[in-house]
Structure 1
């Protein structure tokens, strides 16, 4: 599933071709939404933004078009009237005189009246977006230490969109590794220095992934591995999808474990398992 950085990049691209442009047509695959398509095409899109893994298009009449890619959804941008060669099922098409924004295979699409997002079963429960201006390291330290979250194991907490919207599986593994934290550890058990490092890594790695298109490893490490002829998949991360490869820091073999029914990668030496009194 695309994580927050990928969805934000998609929002940027869509915003570049849709924002404040006259719409020539809007089409929905779902009949209950298609009933509003003609009227929606009379309006303009004011902003396109992401909130965690959700994508929001805000129209000039206050309505918001919400979509979530989940596992299979994908946006394409083409010249107006053109369609990609794909076996995917088209669910939403928005066209301007120059461009077509096309959403395929997504099952989660909704048109929300002004203010209605607060009652939406998914959006209404989301925590702050990882890229929001207010999501600073200081804010994250306070949130991690709060009574609501301090006793949660970090391996589960970092995947909880109510804690922070936009983190996902690869970011979880990379944040914990770069912080030297085992997934069983709880925020409330970390010393101040480790907690501060964790808070910085959450923000920094999400931003790095956004800027690079999904890379979380340091630039020099990525460049060296690409120069050695390794595929991009083997260069993006320090631990994620590197099972049995040597740790870039200590040389120990990276391990893959199942955590919360999802795969997680860690270095057993750099991220030692906490003692019984320090774990959830």
Structure 2
């Protein structure tokens, strides 16, 4: 499933061709949404907002399309009416004079009056967006110490969208590695310095992934691996998907476990259990 950085980058691409432009034609692939086409046709797109893994397309006259890619949804930007050949189901088609923004395969889509969008069942319960410009590491640290979250294991807490929105499996692994914390520890066990380090790593790794299209390694290390001939998939992460391979820091073997039906990766040398 795409995580916060991927959804924000998709929003950037869509915003580049839709923001400030009139939607001349709109089609919904889900019958329950087709009645909104008449309302939104001819309206101007104001902005694309992301909240975690949800994308909000804001129109003038106070209407918003909510969409969540879930596991298989994908956006495509093409020249007007040049639909790509695909076996996917087209769910939304937004056409300006020059471009088309197309959402395939997703089904978690709804249209809301903008003033009511915060009442959406998903948006009403999620925490701060990890890529929100005004999110400070001190707020993340405070949430780690709060009664609501402090008793949770980090491995579960860092997938809970109520804690922070936009973190998924790869960011969880990479953030905990960057903070040198074992996934089985709970937030209550962290000292003040550890909470601060984890909070800073949470923002730094998430923002780096957004800036680099999914690479969480520091630029110097990533550049060195490029010079050594590593393929992109081999130089994206410290631990995620690298079980059995040597850690880039300590040389130890990356471990993997299944927890809650999700893959979990860590370095036992760099992230020792206490």
- Residue 62 of structure 1 pairs with residue 62 of structure 2: yes
Q: Structure 2 CA distance, aligned partners of 1:230 and 1:247?
A: 15
How many residue pairs match? The answer is 274
1:12 aligns with 2:12: yes
Q: CA deviation at 1:114?
A: 3.0
Where does residue 140 of structure 2 map in the other structure? 140
Structure 2 alignment gaps of length 5 or more = none
Report what 2:169 is aligned to: 169
> 1:179, 1:260 → 2: CA distance?
22
Contact 1:12 1:49 in 2 (8 A): no
- Bigger mean CA offset, 126-135 vs 248-257: 126-135
- Tell me which residue corresponds to 1:81: 81
User: Which residue matches 1:203?
Assistant: 203
- SS of residue matched to 1:126: coil
TM, length-normalised to structure 1: 0.95
Which residue in 1 is equivalent to 2:41? 41
Tell me how far 1:225 sits from its aligned partner. Answer: 1.7
Residue 265 of structure 1, CA deviation? 0.7
Aligned: 1:102 with 2:102: yes
Runs of 4+ in 1 over 4 A off after TM superposition: none
Instruction: Encode CA deviations 1:45-87: one digit per residue, 9 max, x unaligned.
Output: 1110111000001111111100011110000000001011221
Aligned partners of 2:58 and 2:114 also within 8 Å: no
Give 5+ residue unaligned stretches, structure 1: 275-280
How far apart, in 1, do the equivalents of 2:258 and 2:130 lie? 24
Q: Name the structure 2 match of 1:185.
A: 185
SS at match of 1:103: strand
CA distance in 2, matches of 1:152, 1:132: 24
Q: CA deviation at 1:204?
A: 0.3
Q: Residue in 1 aligned with 2:23?
A: 23
